[in-house]
Chains A and B, each alone.
Chain A
């Protein structure tokens, strides 16, 4: 069988499993099943993603020499800038997601086909619904919303037509299409220099509309876009109280375009200016090189119980995190910070084992993000503390 068939076979077995696990709260994938799937996928990717095979071979790793998912060679996210890490033939590629970054930098390229996007979406939707809209049914029961109502989204990014290579916007667009009401709206723009901007008028109009209708609304955007919105609210003394049940999904990505703001401060400002309480602010951690996303469980969990655990991010059961001690390269000992590695089974057609440039620390069954490893260019002695 050719590459496409073998990987397609894997993908078609995986998809229903993802949909099932994603739809059930507190679902788990038995360790042995995860391990078996990870090793099977590693073998397929070793055979069919040639730059990945060369990477493994340079480490002296042969097919069949790995028996534990933790030992699957993780490719750094920066490799997506240098290499075409995909099993898809050029004619099969229908989409490519780029990493955000400075324009002078070569972006990461994660190629997709119609089929690989269906895996991406199967991975996305259930886990998203659980973390962002987990209490929607309760709102229906409480008659806060109608039984047929879908949640209204205000998406603070440009629409996918304007930014077809953004994995974040593809994610937003997919959730809008599948989960949101038809009057949901993207309120971001692309400026002449390619930077993302927020159409403040459109955003405030959509917010006021939801308030008039007393309908809970979901605001989704990058931290940068929220800073922009909140700066405007602060400057104009705007203090809204969005309808009860409204919520925020906020994801990293300042992209150097706005002042950085500690999360706690950002969340306090969201509460002050939009009237959305902390427990309804969900943080997302994802990247164009991954097929799955992790969330901070601030929002109500699926059974309607507010979960106030606050710092730990959780990937779905089909994506596991391993922290690596940057000094020794071995698995970080308990409670110690390490470089975040992820084995994401939803990355069927590229490489499942990814090493990020981020540092984290384990916290319960999740992990905390400590920040980016300093990949910024060193400038001689500027590296030294001033």
Chain B
């Protein structure tokens, strides 16, 4: 067992110690004072170095915080140790100096924008320089059990030089807390501008205290939660509602020699974070007319998930979640016994994974925890019509298509409202430059000051 973490963040306090609005207010004011002292004048290059060095620490098998995450994570988060390791590796591998620099250039047009008035080619055309300023206090309301959104939120907030208060959904602060402690171990002064707390959503007194001190509130959750929060925030508000994702595999790519690799990557998309993220696929649409039928693809995917199970076991789930899967399986068992257009493959003696094949392309929301639909797709247009129930609520489409078709398909997906298309296998692995729900990553946080020299 690792050493218990020192009481540095509110989320470190024993569960019995209840928070009060006064504690939240005081924490926010301390954060703002610390920001003034330690963060506002830090230059971008040193922050980028600090963040990428923390990220590379997390990749080291001997790093104490990583060891603690993998040892205590299964009990704290419900993910198996190997699934956690896979998820953390994928995430922290993507946080490098180069990528953070790219992010700043993509979002702000120049890597020094947060440091001083600076100009890129376009600015020079207008004889202008510009500087961007982040919010003084940025509040994050996280939803869901994946840690990535909280990690990314913290990284973006640091680059924006904001004091940050991260309010985690009940039972989900373990990994964000460890990440914050890893920043503390690297630079205590920077971590002094960061607070991690956990309380049950809808604790309005605590939330109102937080909102009163915040310049920007960024929230994730169900559409209802977002709508309710938005009404209570007077300042700037960024809401990210829940989304669903699916994948589309064309007849050409499933017919090629790389099918085994494609299947492994597809299985990884289902297994990543036990399918619990908005970017995890609910359905694999497989085009008809290829060398393997959608049904054969489903069978092979089932074999792939079975092979993956010892490597990355699905986490333990509650009786209710098991019952939801068992009940859903019974339904499809009946359907499969009555029709050749439905088939089911299941993990033996457990609910670890389930593959349902249906010829009917109607989008079906999965009950998650590695429960995946494979559906026949005559073509993309038909699929989008069949996915009408999730229109405008799709985040990511994993696409496997030949070069000559891909651009046209991306255009069709974009016009339909999809905000991210990626390779199958990378669905849960958006880069730090990802425009969440089609919005700017860092650009949404900052306020610009234009300095026009000319005249």
Q: Which of A's residues lie within 8 Å of B, judged by CB?
A: 51, 54-55, 57-59, 75-76, 78-79, 82-83, 324-329, 337, 339, 355, 357, 359, 373-375, 377-386
* Contact yes or no, B334 A380, CB < 8 A: no
A40 CB → nearest B CB, Å: 23
CB distance A374 to B323 under 8 Å? yes
Nearest B residue to A325 by beta-carbon distance? Answer: B322
The distance in angstroms between the C-alpha atoms of A378 and B278, with both chains bound, is 12
Contact between A386 and B169 (Cβ–Cβ < 8 Å)? yes
A355 touches B330 (CB 8 A): yes
B: residues with CB less than 8 A from A are 143-145, 169-172, 201, 221-222, 225, 242-245, 276-278, 282, 317, 319-328, 330-331, 333-338, 349-351, 365-368, 393
Query: How near does chain B come to A330, taking the closest CB pair, in angstroms?
Result: 8
Q: Which residue of B lies closest to A332 (CB)?
A: B319
Q: Is the CB of B169 within 8 A of A378?
A: no
* Interface contact B201-A386, CB-CB below 8 Å: yes
Additional A-B contacts beyond A373-B327, A381-B242, A386-B221 (11; CB < 8 A): A76-B330, A76-B334, A339-B327, A374-B327, A375-B328, A380-B243, A382-B222, A383-B276, A385-B169, A386-B201, A386-B225
User: Which of A59, A75, A83, A326 meets B325, CB within 8 Å?
Assistant: A326
Closest Cβ of chain B to A139, distance in Å, is: 42
Partner of B367, one of A57, A339, A378: A378
The answer to whether B201 touches A58 (Cβ under 8 A) is no
CB–CB A385/B172 < 8 A: yes
Evaluate contact between B320 and A379: CB separation under 8 angstroms: no
Give bound CA distance, A54 to B335, whole Å: 10
Tell which of A55, A384, A386 touches B333, judged by Cβ atoms closer than 8 Å: A55
Contacts of B365 in A (CB 8 A): 377-380
Given contacts A329-B326, A337-B319, contact A384 B331 (CB under 8 A): no
CA distance A192 to B180 in the complex (A): 58
List of A residues within 8 angstroms of B143 by Cβ: 381, 384, 386
Whether the pair A339, B368 counts as a contact (CB closer than 8 A) is no
Residue numbers in B under 8 Å from A329 (CB-CB): 326, 349
- Measured CB to CB, the nearest residue on chain A to B244 is A380
A306 to chain B, nearest CB (A): 33
Q: In whole angstroms, what is the CA distance A78 to B277 when docked?
A: 28
Chain A-chain B contacts (Cβ-Cβ < 8 Å), number = 121
Docked-complex contact B333 and A328, CB < 8 angstroms: no
Residue pair A54, B337 in contact (C-beta under 8 Å): yes
CA distance A355 to B282 in the complex (A): 26
CB–CB A326/B330 < 8 A: no
Task: Give every chain A residue within 8 A of B243 (Cβ-Cβ).
Answer: 380-381
When distances are taken between beta carbons in the complex, the residues of chain A under 8 Å from B338 are: 51, 54-55, 82-83
- CB pairs A–B below 8 angstroms (7 shown): A59-B333, A378-B324, A379-B242, A381-B278, A382-B222, A384-B143, A385-B171
Q: Considering the complex, give the chain B residue whose CB is closest to the CB of A78.
A: B331
B357 smallest CB distance to A (angstroms): 14
Contact A386 B349, beta carbon cutoff 8 Å: no
Please tell me if the beta carbons of B334 and A359 are within 8 angstroms of each other in the complex: no
Q: With A and B bound together, what is the CA distance between A382 and B224 in angstroms?
A: 10
Q: How far is the CA of A144 from the CA of B172 in the complex (A)?
A: 60
B351–A327 touching, CB < 8 Å = yes
A384 in contact with B145 (CB, 8 Å)? yes
Ranked 6 nearest A-B pairs via Cβ: A373-B323, A76-B330, A326-B322, A58-B337, A326-B326, A326-B323
Tell me if B337 and A55 are in contact (CB < 8 A).
Answer: yes
Q: Which residues of the partner chain A approach B323 to less than 8 Å between Cβ atoms?
A: 326, 339, 359, 373-374
Q: Which residues of A contact B245 (CB under 8 A)?
A: 380
> A58–B144 contact, CB under 8 A?
no
B334 touches A78 (CB 8 A): yes
Cα(A58)–Cα(B342), bound, Å? 12
Give Cα distance in the complex from A381 to B322, angstroms. 17
On chain B, the residues within 8 Å of A359 by CB distance are 319-320, 323
A248 and B201 alpha carbons, distance in the complex (Å): 38
Least distance between A376 CB and chain B CB atoms (Å): 9
Q: Which residues of B contact A79 (CB under 8 A)?
A: 330-331, 334
**Best-surrounded residue of A76, A357, A382 (most CB of chain B within 10 A):** A382
A377, B225: Cα distance in complex, Å: 18
User: Are A382 and B324 in contact, CB atoms less than 8 angstroms apart?
Assistant: no
A381 with B144, Cβ < 8 A, contacts A55-B333, A78-B334, A329-B326 known: yes
Closest partner residue, chain B, to A337 (CB atom)? B319
The CA of A337 and the CA of B319, in the complex, are separated in Å by 8
Q: Are B326 and A384 in contact (CB under 8 A)?
A: no
Collect the chain B residues with CB atoms within 8 Å of residue A59's CB.
333
Asked whether, in the complex, the Cβ of B322 is within 8 Å of the Cβ of A327, the reply is yes
The docked-state distance in angstroms from the alpha carbon of A272 to that of B70 is 54
CB closest residue in chain A, given B220: A381
Please state if B336 and A339 are interface contacts (CB–CB under 8 Å).
no
Q: Which residue in chain A gives the minimum CB-CB distance to B371?
A: A378
Q: In whole angstroms, what is the CA distance A51 to B334 when docked? A: 9
- B144 x A75 contact (CB < 8 A): no
Give the Cβ gap from B236 to chain A, nearest Cβ, in Å: 22
Which residues from chain B contact A380 at a C-beta distance below 8 Å? 242-245, 278, 282, 365, 393
Q: Which of A76, A83, A328, A373 contacts B320 (CB 8 A)?
A: A373
Measured CB to CB, the closest approach of chain A to B147, in angstroms, equals 12
Instruction: Name the CB-closest residue of A to B393.
Output: A380
CB-based nearest A residue for B344: A58
The answer to whether B319 touches A381 (Cβ under 8 A) is: no
Q: Are A378 and B351 in contact (CB under 8 A)?
A: no
A378–B330 Cα gap in the complex (Å)? Answer: 17
A270 to B74, CA, bound (A): 45
Q: Is the CB of A55 within 8 A of B334?
A: yes
Contact of B276 with A384 in the complex, beta carbons under 8 Å = yes
Contact B222 A386 (CB under 8 A): yes
**CA of A75 to CA of B276, assembled, Å:** 29
A339 to B393, CA, bound (A): 33
Closest to A327 in B: B322
A75 to B338, alpha carbons, bound, how many Å? 13
